Every structure is written in structure tokens, then in C-alpha cells.
């Protein structure tokens, strides 16, 4: 797992930025171009936006975990409400349980396959089907059961809507593209300062030190960008830190008895 996590952040973008850093160093060294660049400018221009995007993606993942947990709990609760009503036939209860299981499964399918827009509208139709079931059996429910059924049903689908919104509207794309552009520009901005700084430290190894620092910093920045890219969509089951949807599945045996 550790080896897999290390290599997961290494991709074509990392190779490009390393080549970029090496080329820029060769060019500036050949031109003997040296200048001082304030590190605070680099921090504001690159580090701060990059940290913001990673934090935003992480918070999205954590918020989604809370929504998944609540949806799972509330679906079981809604099933239990109707299973406790003796006047409702077992066949209807079974049909209702199947509807709840189907709805829960479609939530996972919709989020893990973001290209299937139709699934989102299917989920909204499921909300109407559950509402119709409650209305059709409302005469069997007490006032408390009736109110609780509508409250739980609304909680389930409000969380589903929040999850689909989180999946569709992540960290601003413009901000992520801004970070990517500045990571590629970093060697062009900071390499002259690295050359000057390393020469003041060591005349003998200044070239090797400057190359090492330039490549290393460029690699770290791009690796962080790749980490953000992986956790940006915690539903697609492609990243190591994606939400494990299987852990939120509901077995039929967990629903209310007939």
C-alpha cells in the first residue's frame, strides 16, 4: 500500500515539471542569469492557493462521509417505521424495502459514474415514489409515525441532493488551473535566485545543489497538486483515499422485518 501510494502521485505532469526545471536551470546557467526573488512571493502565488485547494477537497471528502452515514442510517430507520405497522401487508413492506435498497444503490451508481446525468433524475423520481408509498398507506400510520416518515424521507433526499451537488461542484477549476500554471512557471521564476543562493553557500557544489533544489521543489509542488487531484472526486473509486462505497452498502437483512 505504501509503495502504491508513493507511485500514485507520479505521472506525466511530474515528468514534465522535472524536465522543465532541468531545462530552465541549463538555460539560466548558460546565460549566467542571477537575481534575488522573495520567497514570500512564491508562497503567496503558489503555496497558499495549493494548500487551499487541498483543504477544500479534503473537507469535501469528510463532509461526504457524514452524508453517506446519515443516508444509510435514515434508510434503515424509514424501513423500520413501516415494518412496525401491522396493518400494512407484508408484500407491501417487501416492495417498500426493495424500493429503499434500489434507491440506496442508485446513489452509489450516480456518484461513482459522474457522466451518467440521467441517474440524478432517476433518484429524484425515487423520492416521489417513496412519497407516494407513504401517502397510499397513510391511513395505517399514527400521527407520530406519519410525521416521522416525512421527516426521515426529506432528510434522506436532502443529503442525496447535497452529495450530487458536491460531486458536480468541487474545488473551482479556475483555481486548480491557476495552481498548475504557476507550478510549471516556478522554475522560471525561482531558479535564478537558487543559483545565486547556492553559490554563496558553496562554490564547489553550487551547480549540483541548485539543480537538486530546483527539481526537488518542483516535484513536491506537482506531487501535492496530484494529491489534490486524486481526492477532488472521492466517489469515482480511482484514488487510494476515495470513499469506500462498499462499506456503506445496506443488506436486505438490515431493513425492518416483514
Q: What is the pLDDT of residues 108-145, one digit of tens each?
A: 888 887 655 657 788 888 889 999 998 998 888 888 98
Cβ burial of 242 (10 Å; 0-12, 13-18, 19+) is middle
pLDDT surpassing 80 at residue 243: yes
DSSP code at position 171? S
- Per the CB < 8 A criterion, the answer to whether 17 and 215 are in contact is no
Measured between alpha carbons, how far is 172 from 206 in angstroms, rounded to an integer?
40
The model's pLDDT over 154-211, given as tens digits with 9 standing for 90+, comes to 999 999 999 988 888 888 889 999 999 999 988 888 888 777 777 666 666 677 788 8
Residue 58 scores a pLDDT above 60: yes
- Above 60 in pLDDT, residue 60? yes
Domains of the chain by range and CATH? Answer: 15-44+173-220 (no CATH), 59-170 (1.20.120)
Average pLDDT over residues 204-223: 83
Residue 202 has a pLDDT of 61
CB atoms within 10 A of CB 216: 12
pLDDT score, position 123: 84
Q: Which three cell numbers stand for residue 209?
A: 545543489
In 3D space, the residue among 157, 152, 95, 151 whose CA is nearest the CA of residue 120 turns out to be 157
Q: What is the pLDDT of residue 114?
A: 60
Question: pLDDT confidence of 3, banded at 50, 70, 90?
Answer: low
Q: Is the pLDDT of residue 2 over 60?
A: no
Q: How many Å apart are CA 45 and CA 40, to the nearest integer?
A: 8
Output helix, strand, coil percentages for the chain, rounded to the nearest 5: 80, 0, 20
Q: 138 vs 11, 104, 149, 182, CA distance in Å?
A: 57, 23, 10, 60
Distance in Å from the first CA to the final CA of the chain: 43
Average pLDDT over residues 211-217: 87
Task: Calculate helix-pair angle for 118-136, 90-112, nearest 10 degrees.
Answer: 160
pLDDT at 159 (0 to 100): 92
- Inform me whether the pLDDT recorded for 7 exceeds 80: no
* Cα 134 from chain centroid (whole Å): 34
pLDDT at 252 over 90: no
Question: How far, in Å, CA of 207 to CA of 202, rounded?
Answer: 9
pLDDT reading at 1 higher than 90: no
pLDDT band at 100; cut points 50, 70, 90: very high
Query: Residue 242: its pLDDT value, please?
Result: 82
Contact 130, 75 (CB under 8 A): no
Confidence class for position 69, pLDDT limits 50, 70, 90 = very high
State pLDDT tens for residues 9-44: 778 888 999 999 999 888 888 887 777 777 777 778
Is residue 229 scored above 90 in pLDDT? no
- What per-residue confidence (pLDDT) applies to 238? 78
Amino acid at each position: 500500500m505504501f509503495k502504491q501510494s508513493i507511485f500514485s502521485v507520479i505521472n506525466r505532469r511530474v515528468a514534465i515539471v522535472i524536465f522543465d526545471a532541468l531545462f530552465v536551470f541549463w538555460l539560466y546557467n548558460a546565460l549566467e542569469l542571477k537575481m534575488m526573488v522573495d520567497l514570500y512571493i512564491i508562497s503567496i502565488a503558489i503555496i497558499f492557493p495549493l494548500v487551499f485547494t487541498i483543504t477544500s477537497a479534503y473537507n469535501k471528502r469528510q463532509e461526504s462521509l457524514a452524508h453517506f452515514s446519515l443516508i444509510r442510517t435514515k434508510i434503515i430507520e424509514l424501513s423500520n417505521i413501516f415494518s412496525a405497522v401491522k396493518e400494512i401487508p407484508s408484500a407491501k413492506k417487501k416492495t417498500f424495502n426493495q424500493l429503499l435498497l434500489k434507491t440506496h444503490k442508485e446513489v452509489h451508481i450516480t456518484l461513482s459514474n459522474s457522466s451518467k446525468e440521467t441517474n440524478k433524475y432517476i433518484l429524484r423520481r425515487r423520492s416521489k415514489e417513496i412519497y407516494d408509498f407513504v401517502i397510499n398507506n397513510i391511513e395505517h400510520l399514527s400521527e407520530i409515525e406519519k410525521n416521522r416518515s416525512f421527516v426521515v424521507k426529506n432528510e434522506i433526499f436532502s443529503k442525496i441532493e447535497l452529495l450530487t451537488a458536491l460531486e458536480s461542484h468541487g474545488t473551482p477549476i479556475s483555481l486548480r488551473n491557476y495552481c498548475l500554471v504557476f507550478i510549471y512557471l516556478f522554475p522560471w521564476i525561482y531558479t535564478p535566485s537558487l543559483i545565486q543562493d547556492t553559490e554563496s553557500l558553496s562554490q564547489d557544489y553550487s551547480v549540483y545543489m541548485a539543480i537538486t533544489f530546483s527539481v526537488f521543489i518542483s516535484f513536491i509542488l506537482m506531487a501535492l497538486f496530484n494529491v489534490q487531484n486524486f481526492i477532488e472526486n472521492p466517489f469515482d473509486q480511482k484514488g487510494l483515499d476515495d470513499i469506500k462505497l462498499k462499506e456503506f452498502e445496506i443488506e436486505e437483512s438490515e431493513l425492518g422485518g416483514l
